[in-house]
């Protein structure tokens, strides 16, 4: 008979850049001044795109849209560490990540405008289509990661997920397969503290999302998700580990969704203005700007020029989006099966008749 402790666990937390833009030199990742500026520019571009998309939706020029506001560091920092050979499995909220991963902004507008052609990445860009079903993309990512092991190729797969998705059955199956097969996969969880209106404390009893990985036999780490340098460092380390064949990592980026869940939501119904205001102070873009300014890498003149540049880039994408001929009605029915099954064909015929009758 015995009573003993078999295992004890701990969860690491990483922050490199604090809320005031001060940095811990010892933890600083190896990034050149030019790269630091590029990280900033990508976040500003993502934010400008987001503002524009929200306004297009309000004007009826775009469908339902999920804002990235507040989560730019988690997305750009992660994307920046990746290589072209790596695969990304995004969710509806990952527009800044996708832009940083060379998905053209016009594609994203097409996607949120209901045009499936927006899901097609440019040649050689390894971005899977956005997953709206919460959590299903984890299994796709693990499958693609397992294929890297089988074919002895050097790449990793990144499954993006939210805090809510970490409680989905599919995602837990993905965690399990990843652990058992030591798949070169990284679970990039943006814990923005809400699954629509459900606060994280009400949807999981786990104190951190990172610790969920431990139960599946791999490492989980929590980072300050509003600190782009921490996210970048954690992702770069997880990638190296995956390439070495040492298996998966779950990176929990602790962050906050500053906007509504989507354009169909009103977050003021379930959270206080003071909570949002407190998190606004910790937002990631200003934080990196403060750091860059302290290192004389940035100033108001550069800010002005960047604002004009991203405005031009986003406007060009909008013009292109609105000039591309809209897809036909068939498109709604086309992409789920290689060949359209009879029941869908019937629905399509009925729909066509309905439109003709109008």
Ligand X SMILES: Cc1ncc(C[n+]2csc(CCOP(=O)(O)OP(=O)(O)O)c2C)c(N)n1
Q: Closest approach of Cβ 48 to ligand X, in Å?
A: 20
With binding defined as CB under 6 A, does residue 137 bind ligand X?
Answer: no
With binding defined as CB under 6 A, does residue 133 bind ligand X?
Answer: yes
Question: Which positions from 39 through 78 interact with ligand X, judged by CB under 6 A?
Answer: none
Distance CA 196, CA 257 (A): 10
Q: Closest approach of Cβ 134 to ligand X, in Å?
A: 4
Count of residues engaged in binding ligand X, rule: CB under 6 A: 14
Distance CA 154, CA 149 (A): 8
Distance CA 308, CA 282 (A): 25
With binding defined as CB under 6 A, does residue 253 bind ligand X?
Answer: no
**Residue 71 or residue 184: which is nearer to ligand X going by CB?**
71
Residues composing the chain? 358
With binding defined as CB under 6 A, does residue 196 bind ligand X?
Answer: yes
Distance CA 186, CA 159 (A): 6
Alpha helix (H) ranges present in the chain? 33-58, 72-81, 95-100, 105-112, 137-150, 169-180, 200-203, 212-215, 228-243, 273-280, 284-294, 300-323, 331-334, 342-357
Number of helices (H) and strands (E), helices first, in the chain? 14, 8
Q: Which stretch binds ligand X (CB under 6 A): 102-110, 157-165, 174-182, 319-327?
A: 157-165
**Residue 27 or residue 276: which is nearer to ligand X going by CB?**
276
Are the CB atoms for 289 and 298 separated by under 8 Å? yes
Which one of 101, 261, 287, 289 is the catalytic residue? Answer: 261
Distance CA 6, CA 25 (A): 37
With binding defined as CB under 6 A, does residue 113 bind ligand X?
Answer: no
Of the residues 16, 99, 100, 134, which one makes contact with ligand X according to CB under 6 A: 134
270 catalytic per annotation: yes
Q: How is residue 292 written in tokens? A: 């860059």
Of the residues 132, 180, 307, 354, which one makes contact with ligand X according to CB under 6 A: 132
Phi, psi of 146 (to 5 degrees): -60, -35
58 catalytic per annotation: no
Q: Closest approach of Cβ 317 to ligand X, in Å?
A: 23
CA 275 to chain centre: 23
**Residue 257 or residue 287: which is nearer to ligand X going by CB?**
257
The three-state secondary structure class of 219 is strand
Of the residues 118, 138, 162, 225, which one makes contact with ligand X according to CB under 6 A: 162
**Residue 192 or residue 247: which is nearer to ligand X going by CB?**
192
With binding defined as CB under 6 A, does residue 33 bind ligand X?
Answer: no
Which one of 83, 244, 270, 335 is the catalytic residue? Answer: 270
Q: Contact residues for ligand X (CB under 6 A)? A: 93, 132-134, 162-165, 192, 194-196, 257, 261
| Catalytic residue numbers, as ranges | 257, 261, 270
């Amino acid at each position: 008979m015995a009573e003993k402790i078999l295992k004890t666990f701990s969860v690491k937390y990483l922050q490199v850049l604090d809320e005031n833009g001060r940095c811990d030199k010892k933890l600083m990742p190896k990034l050149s001044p030019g790269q630091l500026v590029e990280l900033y520019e990508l976040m500003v571009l993502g934010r400008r795109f987001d503002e524009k998309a929200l306004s297009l939706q309000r004007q009826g020029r775009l469908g339902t849209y999920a804002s990235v506001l507040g989560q730019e560091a988690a997305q750009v920092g992660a994307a920046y560490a990746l290589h072209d050979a790596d695969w990304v499995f995004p969710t509806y909220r990952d527009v800044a990540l996708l832009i940083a991963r060379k998905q053209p902004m016009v594609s994203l507008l097409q996607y949120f405008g209901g045009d499936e052609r927006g899901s097609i990445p440019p040649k050689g860009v390894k971005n899977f289509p956005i997953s709206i079903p919460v959590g299903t993309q984890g299994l796709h990512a693990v499958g693609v990661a397992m294929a890297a092991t089988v074919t002895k190729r050097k790449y990793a797969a990144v499954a993006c997920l939210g805090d809510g998705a970490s409680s989905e059955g599919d995602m837990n199956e993905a965690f399990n397969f990843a652990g058992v097969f030591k798949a070169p996969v990284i679970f990039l969880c943006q814990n923005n503290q809400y699954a629509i209106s459900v606060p994280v404390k009400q949807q999981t009893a786990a104190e951190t999302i990172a610790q969920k990985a431990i139960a599946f036999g791999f490492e989980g780490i929590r980072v300050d998700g509003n600190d782009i340098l921490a996210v970048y460092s954690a992702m770069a380390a997880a990638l190296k580990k995956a390439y070495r064949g040492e298996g998966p990592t779950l990176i929990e980026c602790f962050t906050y969704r500053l906007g509504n869940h989507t354009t169909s939501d009103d977050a003021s119904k379930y959270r206080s203005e003071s909570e949002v205001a407190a998190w606004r102070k910790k937002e990631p873009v200003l934080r990196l700007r403060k750091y860059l300014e302290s290192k004389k890498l940035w100033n108001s003149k550069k800010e002005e020029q960047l604002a004009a540049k991203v405005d031009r880039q986003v406007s060009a994408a909008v013009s292109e989006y609105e000039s591309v001929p809209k897809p036909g009605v068939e498109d709604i029915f086309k992409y789920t099966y290689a060949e359209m099954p009879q029941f869908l064909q019937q629905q399509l015929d009925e729909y066509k008749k309905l439109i003709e009758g109008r």
